[in-house]
Each structure stands twice: as C-alpha cells, then as structure tokens.
Amino acid sequence: MRDDVRDFVRTRYGRIAKSGGSCCPSCGCGDSDGNARSMSYSEDDLRSAPPESMMGLGCGNPIAYADLTPGEVVLDLGSGGGIDVFLAAKRVGEKGRVIGVDMTDEMLGRARDAAVQHGFMNVEFRKGEIESLPVGDSSVDVVISNCVINLSVDKARVFREIHRVLKPGGRMVVSDLVTNGDLPEDLKRSLDAWASCIAGAVEKEVYISLIRESGLEDIRIMAESGYSGGVPEFLTKIKSITVYAAKPKV
C-alpha cells in the first residue's frame, strides 16, 4: 500500500496546486484565506505572504513557535504553495535561507513562480520526499512542517531524516494531525482519507515516541486543538498538535 498512498497523494496535491482548492473540503479545512486565519497566522503574516501561497492546507502555524532569527537556515518539509517558506524568509532575512521540499511538481511550480513574482531571493524549492530529504547532513538550523508528516507511511524515517539534517543544537517545530482513539479500519485503508490527512494520523503518544526514538530531545507540545460539534464522529478523535524538539548539541 505504501506506493499506492504516495502516488495517490502526489496526484491529489497536483490537482490542488492547479485549482487552489483544499485537501479535504469535507472536514472543514477548506478556504485558503479563512483557514490561514484559523491557524493563527497574524494579519501581518497574511499581508506579507504571496496570496497564491495561502492554500489552506495546514493544521497549525509552526512559524509562531519556531523563534526564527536573522541568518538562520530553515527547511520546510512538504512546502506546498510555500506560505511557511515565505513567512520564514521574512524572519531570517537576506543573510538567512529557506528551503522548501515537496514531491509534487505542480506545487513546486506554483511556489517557484510566487517566489519570482514577489522577489523572494533567499528561498529555494527542491523536489524530494520527506523520507529521503535532498539536504546535506547537519546543514539546517530549523526544520518546520505543517500537516504533512501524517501523509508519510514511514514516519520514523521522516524523524530520522530531520535528526540527520539538523545542525547540533538545531530545532524542529512541526504542526500535524494525530489521533486520540482508534479510527475505523475502513477509513484507515481509504486512499481518500490518506490524502485528506486523516488515515495516516497516529496516536499522539506514538507520534511523540517516534520523535524521541529518532534521537531528538526536549520534546514539547506547544499547541493542541481538536474538532467538536457538528462534525463526523471520527473527526472528534483527530487533534492538531504543534511539537517542538531539538537535536542534542553534542
């Protein structure tokens, strides 16, 4: 099923890149600008990011907790239209650099076009999969990601890759979906549910354990929220979390 999931997700997000639509209109993460506000992006953020980068595909705001400083090198896993790349680029400044990695050609094209059109000189977008990052060892200060790791069928490998590319003392801040209780088996087997960021979600305790097993430490949940009322029952078991972790200095 591993290849089936990857291919289905790539195709789905290719279509989204062309249409500007949502990954899962049925579960409430739909319109781009409204969803950006619901994820706690500030009005200044929304004004400073290219409009075409705001696609409503995230489940949190890792930038708000990353404490980025001028000159840092930042890596965004599953960068999509690039909103978090562009917001990070503003914070790290001309002496910093932000790399977005995505496996979907259409998303990369959309983000690259936005970078050129809006004059972002300190960003680049690389094609790759988050289980095998096209980035050198110990080369980035900060790794961010927004509702993407749940799409991977090998999350342990993703976190090992994050550990590999971080500089000693570097940090990770990721927003993602996790579960609180078992999801229906038919839902977990559904490719549509995988592409909607639902079927690949794992229990919060499992997610944290995978981070710890990768060698990252000082793990902290910075934000957490869930669905309630007026949603399908399975969505009440889904939570959005934003997690901080760091690579040991030695």
CATH number at residue 53: 3.40.50.150
> Which residues on neighbouring strands pair with residue 108, listed in sequence order?
none
pLDDT band at 51 (very low <50, low <70, confident <90, very high): confident
pTM to 2 decimals?
A: 0.91
The percent of the chain in helix, strand and coil, each rounded to the nearest 5, is 40, 25, 35
3-state DSSP of 149-161 = HHHCCCHHHHHHH
Domain count, the chain: 1
Residue 243, token pair as written in the block: 């997690």
Which 8-state DSSP code applies to residue 234?
Answer: G
Residue 76 to residues 45, 63, 177, 203, Cα–Cα distance (Å): 17, 10, 17, 23
| Mean pLDDT of the region 200-223 | 97
Which of the given ranges, 38-52, 67-81, 222-236, has the highest pLDDT on average?
67-81
Model confidence at 36, in pLDDT bands (50, 70, 90)?
A: very low
96-122 per-position pLDDT tens digit: 999 999 999 999 999 999 999 999 999
Pair 107, 137: CB distance under 8 Å: no
161 within 8 A of 109, measured Cβ to Cβ: no
More confident residue, 24 or 12: 12
**Domain span at 208:** 2-246
- 146-205 pLDDT per residue, tens: 999 999 999 999 999 999 999 999 999 999 999 998 888 888 888 888 888 898 899 999
